[in-house]
Structure 1
């Protein structure tokens, strides 16, 4: 998959996971080897980055946990909270369909979203449905095994939320 603008990344839209990871899931389901998947973030400037190398996910997920990204989302209130939840859903789609997301990135995203009292309060105030979607998504990820946290504090919080 390629894009010709640098304002986007592979966690921006569900279509990337559906097309890229969906291709891998279909190939495996049909008995083929998992195909090599590549995402070209900005074809005018970047070289191809394999999803297997997971550089794209590290860049996207780490950027999402940064205070600058988070404050940008929080300025948008309800819609920003929805974007925060959607980003996790897109990352989860890649994990479920193509096993392309390293588990430690979910820990980082959990810390930035549910592990932050500031973000949790923002989400509860501006878009409680998005907060519930994040909690549900993390629980589903943990139960389905694409993500097994190694952190006891997260494991305990997930058990308490269930």
Structure 2
């Protein structure tokens, strides 16, 4: 119902990041570095960050500002137009910590909407890589030199922005999870690499770069994704587990270890904080997924409400498959709250029996794959009985 020609968000791509976004992004970078240091006693050398176009429009570039702050460069603006005119390199002494090599996985929408920002990030990476600084201060420079020694191509060695093939969108993991025919991390990583292994920046424009992407991902210490609002969370969209979880699975497949997985929370810009992905999953699970008030709200929406509940289970399963963040007690809670609660069960059976069947099937798959490590026999028997009952009802046309 907006007037013709108006958009939900008005943004000038050349004004990203804004001055306010720089403040928030700097705080996100500091929070991430401090959390990693508190967890490990070290500074992160390489961070992988997922960047979406919709969040860039909402925040005017918090994610972009964080990348620049991690690299140790500060944007510069034209005062009259508020557009970004370039950046200045922050001296290592002013930064007070080592620079961070940042690997960026952009969405297809971000690629299309913000080519100027991609160019800015690429220029910042190449500038920092050219600084005459020791490896302990500038890991990016050290990594570029190591890659140059391996293949001798400077443009490849400084590629840090990766995304889907030009004209393509997404990370590809949802169809794989839905098909239920994947076996292990190798399958997840293969899809993530095939969909995301294209480099962007000056002279690249989506060049096939899977080998360079994998070389960069092998170095990732932290896989991060920021959350800038409370309108949605990591369990109500498949994109979260596809992009963020996919990055974790990719690193785990390439290195045999899971990177630290962090979620930056800037929904209150003055109180930025960083949680682990596990902490964020538990927060969302308790506050929404099994919250009786949310379940009651979904029941008021009939078929669509039941669909949203089934989708939430699917997205949690996807995150567990990729990043291993769903505990056994959470699966038990899903079963008791969604399948075995008499009122919820009757609601689903009456309004959307496909959703009830799907939830039971997904929970059984989690047990079969060992994601749900020790389900109780009674719970599994109940889920199997529910699945067979719903299957029979649907085939009978009830």
| Same-fold call, TM cutoff 0.5 | yes
Secondary structure, in 3 states, of the residue corresponding to 1:39?
A: strand
Q: State the alpha-carbon separation in 2 of the partners of residues 3 and 65 from structure 1.
A: 21
Report the equivalent of 1:77.
302
CA, structure 1 residues 155+148, in 2 after alignment: closer, same or farther (shift >3 Å)?
farther
Comparing 39-48 and 92-101, the one that deviates more: 39-48
Compute the displacement of 1:124 (Å): 1.2
Higher relative contact order (CA 8 A, sep 6+): 1
Q: State the alpha-carbon separation in 2 of the partners of residues 146 and 105 from structure 1.
A: 11
Secondary structure, in 3 states, of the residue corresponding to 1:40?
A: strand
Compute the displacement of 1:152 (Å): 3.7
Q: Which runs of 5+ in 1 are unaligned?
A: none
| Aligned Cα root-mean-square deviation (Å) | 1.7
Q: Which segments of structure 1 move beyond 6 Å, counting only runs of 4 or more?
A: none
1:39-118 aligned at under 5 Å gives the runs 39-43=263-267, 44=269, 45-51=271-277, 54-62=278-286, 63-118=288-343
CA contact (8 A) 2:328 2:375 kept: no
Q: Which runs of 5+ in 2 are unaligned?
A: 1-224, 389-398
Q: Deviations over 1:95-124 (max 9, x none)?
A: 111112112111111111001011111111
- Number of aligned positions between the proteins: 160
CA, structure 1 residues 58+117, in 2 after alignment: closer, same or farther (shift >3 Å)?
same
CA contact (8 A) 2:367 2:375 kept: no
Query: Could you say which structure has the higher helix fraction?
Result: 1
CA, structure 1 residues 132+150, in 2 after alignment: closer, same or farther (shift >3 Å)?
closer
1:24-35 aligned at under 5 Å gives the runs 24-35=248-259
Secondary structure, in 3 states, of the residue corresponding to 1:100?
A: coil
Comparing 59-68 and 93-102, the one that deviates more: 59-68
Secondary structure, in 3 states, of the residue corresponding to 2:382?
A: helix
Compute the displacement of 1:46 (Å): 4.3
CA contact (8 A) 1:10 1:41 kept: no
What is the TM-score normalised by the length of structure 1?
A: 0.90
Q: State the alpha-carbon separation in 2 of the partners of residues 150 and 136 from structure 1.
A: 14
Q: State the alpha-carbon separation in 2 of the partners of residues 66 and 37 from structure 1.
A: 25
Q: State the alpha-carbon separation in 1 of the partners of residues 366 and 336 from structure 2.
A: 15
Compute the displacement of 1:130 (Å): 1.1
Secondary structure, in 3 states, of the residue corresponding to 2:255?
A: coil
Report the equivalent of 1:23.
247
Query: For the pair shown, which has the larger CA radius of gyration, 1 or 2?
Result: 2
CA contact (8 A) 1:8 1:41 kept: no
Query: Could you say which structure has the higher strand fraction?
Result: 2
Among 375, 382, 393, the residue aligned to 1:157: 382
